[in-house]
Amino acid sequence: MTTKTDAGPMLPTFLGLEPEFCDPSTAAIAVLPVPYDGTSSWKKGADDGPRALLEASTQVEFFDIPTRTEPYRHGIATLPAVRHDGDPVALADLVDAQVDAALARHQLPVVLGGEHSVTIGAVRAAARRFPNLSVLQIDAHGDTRESYDGSTHNHACVMARVREWCPIVQVGIRAIDASEMAGMEPERTFFAHDICDGGDRAWMSRAIAGLTEDVYVTIDLDAFDPSLLPATGTPEPGGLGWYDVIELLRRVCAERRVVGFDVVELCPSPGQHASEFVAAKLVHRFMAMVLAER
């Protein structure tokens, strides 16, 4: 087993920014790449997600149209990657330490996975700093199994762990097992089929109503319809569209305080670059919306 926070292949900075906009001591945002794929249960390759997303981000325009802002002017520091090839419990401790340090610097932590187990340490750190924290999960899967493949920190268990520290709201769900269904809170779970058939126009307001003032957002990219973003480790048919997700995030930023977020489960496919660009654009747009409300 090896653990490193400053070794391995050099990763680009987010947006390919010049050093004056990447100073970790002054930046408003701290990007933490976590190239970890230790618990994925089907398609491997999420450990290459941070590299692909960061490389794609160099092609994202600095100017964000909806907010009329350039987030990089606030400073976006890309921290050394957390590299760990051991068990996810140890990984959670490593991510926890890095996210806690970013929060201590009053930065917005943005964690780039890696598979979904990277979220556990990030939320644990945020929950200590913000006792009134809740978590918005945008995801195709419930991820609330108590254990999977012998681990309580498997990517299929991430929200079960998160629920131990704070309430959760789940959006976009379309794949769970019977035990997860039995334990779900109907008023806090918003299934993709109810969202996408247009019959429930008030779902977004109800989802936000379930969130506390301080919110951490975890975005599993398989929440999106795979026609938009196919490169994930466990794709599911159907799913959310770009503008639905962006509008939800916009409203959360306007009506609550976002204290951190992650984007996980990007699993790059050779020769196909649309997914990583969509992911990079999503991260940039979300940064812009958070900063616009600060």
pLDDT tens per residue, range 86-116: 888 899 999 999 999 999 999 999 999 999 9
The whole-number pLDDT of residue 24 equals 96
The H or E element that residue 50 is part of is helix 49-57
| Rounded Cα–Cα distance for residues 198 and 202 (Å) | 10
Q: What is the mean pLDDT of the chain?
A: 92
Taking the C-alpha atoms of residue 85 and residue 3, their distance in angstroms, rounded to an integer, is: 7
pLDDT band at 145 (very low <50, low <70, confident <90, very high): confident
The answer, yes or no, to whether residue 9 has pLDDT greater than 80, is no
Residue 184 or 244, more confident: 244
Please state, in angstroms and rounded to a whole number, the distance separating the CA atoms of residues 104 and 121. Answer: 15
**What is the value of pTM for the model shown?**
0.94
pLDDT at 262 over 50: yes
Output 7 or 141, whichever has higher pLDDT.
141
pLDDT at position 267: 96
Domains of the chain: 3-292 (3.40.800.10)
Neighbouring CB atoms inside 10 A of 58's CB total: 13
Per-residue pLDDT at 74 exceeds 70: yes
Euclidean distance between CA atoms 252 and 207, whole angstroms? 9
- Does pLDDT of 39 surpass 80? no
Nearest-Å Rg of the Cα atoms of the chain is 17
pLDDT in tens, 198-233: 777 899 999 999 999 999 999 999 999 999 999 998
